[in-house]
Chains A and B, each alone.
Chain A
Amino acid sequence: QVQLVESGGGVVQPGRSLRLSCAASGFTFSSYGMHWVRQAPGKGLEWVAVISYDGSNKFYADSVKGRFTISRDNSKNTLYLQMSSLRAEDTAVYYCGKDPTAISTGSSGWLDHWGQGTLVTVSS
């Protein structure tokens, strides 16, 4: 069965950096696009970024463009989110999710499986 396990969250000061990881199992990781979605405490879902199966296509929300970088290591079945210049408004639970397509054409799909999330708190 598909399993996605996020890690790397924690408390970080404003302006600092943090890297999240998402370990995938139960499917052929290298064949599917992957997403990051976040949820601020008590708030709704916000899509953050998506990456194609081979890492060649990446798209970002305007709120994180230029500060966050999505990447993947298909040899390790792991998705990453490098977050820099963090702000208080980046405080959220960060979920990784699997796309049902490879995203080979640049068009991504829905999220058919989600991890349990990892909490990032940006505070001094």
Chain B
Amino acid sequence: DIVMTQSPDSLAVSLGERATINCKSSQSVLYSSNNKNYLAWYQQKPGQPPKLLIYWASIRESGVPDRFSGSGSGTDFTLTISSLQAEDVAVYYCQQYYSHPQAFGQGTKLEIK
């Protein structure tokens, strides 16, 4: 089974500054036949269900602000928030859908410094 590990577990960033969250998979989630990375990112605010931000490692879901971006390939991925807004305070999760069972990272809690 693929294990997803995020770093850091928590992060405090000043408003307007860049926030970077890392995600590492225990084996590659890059499918060679289509050159796609089977990785998604979600945002979960307190008391709410998760919300999809990014899929295929770098494709932003419709309606997601362009300050959110995803990058990486193979086993190492990054979610970047280019200019942190107050409404971005949340827990962020990566997820692999390369193989079953699917798996989420443990989450990264993002706060305002």
The finding on whether chains A and B are genuine partners in a shared complex, rather than unrelated, reads: yes
User: Chain A interface (Cβ within 8 Å of chain B)?
Assistant: 35, 37, 44-47, 50, 59-62, 95, 100, 107-117
Say which residue of A44, A109, A113 sits within 8 Å of B104 (CB atoms): A44
Q: How many A-B residue contacts, CB cutoff 8 Å?
A: 59
Q: How far is the CB of B108 from chain A (nearest CB, A)?
A: 10
Say which residue of A60, A110, A113 sits within 8 Å of B101 (CB atoms): A60
* B106 A117 Cβ-Cβ under 8 A: no
Would you call B107 an interface residue if the criterion is a C-beta within 8 Å of the partner chain's C-beta atoms? yes
* A47 B49 Cβ-Cβ under 8 A: no
Say which residue of A47, A60, A61, A114 sits within 8 Å of B51 (CB atoms): A114
Would you call B113 an interface residue if the criterion is a C-beta within 8 Å of the partner chain's C-beta atoms? no
* A110 B104 Cβ-Cβ under 8 A: no
Inter-chain contacts of A117 with B (CB < 8 A): 49
* B49 A44 Cβ-Cβ under 8 A: no
Contact A108 B97, CB 8 Å, known A44-B106, A45-B104: yes
23 contacts between A and B (CB under 8 A): A37-B50, A37-B104, A44-B104, A44-B106, A45-B44, A45-B95, A45-B104, A47-B104, A50-B100, A59-B100, A59-B101, A107-B97, A109-B97, A110-B40, A111-B40, A111-B42, A111-B50, A111-B95, A112-B52, A112-B55, A114-B50, A114-B51, A116-B49
User: Chain B interface (Cβ within 8 Å of chain A)?
Assistant: 1, 40, 42, 44, 49-52, 55, 61, 91, 93, 95, 97, 100-107
Contact A62 B101, CB 8 Å, known A45-B93, A109-B55, A110-B40: yes
Q: How far is the CB of A98 from chain B (nearest CB, A)?
A: 10
Say which residue of A62, A108, A115 sits within 8 Å of B49 (CB atoms): A115
Q: How far is the CB of A97 from chain B (nearest CB, A)?
A: 8
* B100 A108 Cβ-Cβ under 8 A: yes
Contact A47 B1, CB 8 Å, known A95-B49, A110-B55: no
Closest A residue, CB atoms, query B41: A110
CA distance A117 to B44 in the complex (A): 13
* A61 B49 Cβ-Cβ under 8 A: no
Shortest beta-carbon contacts, A-B, top 5: A110-B40, A114-B49, A59-B100, A47-B102, A45-B104
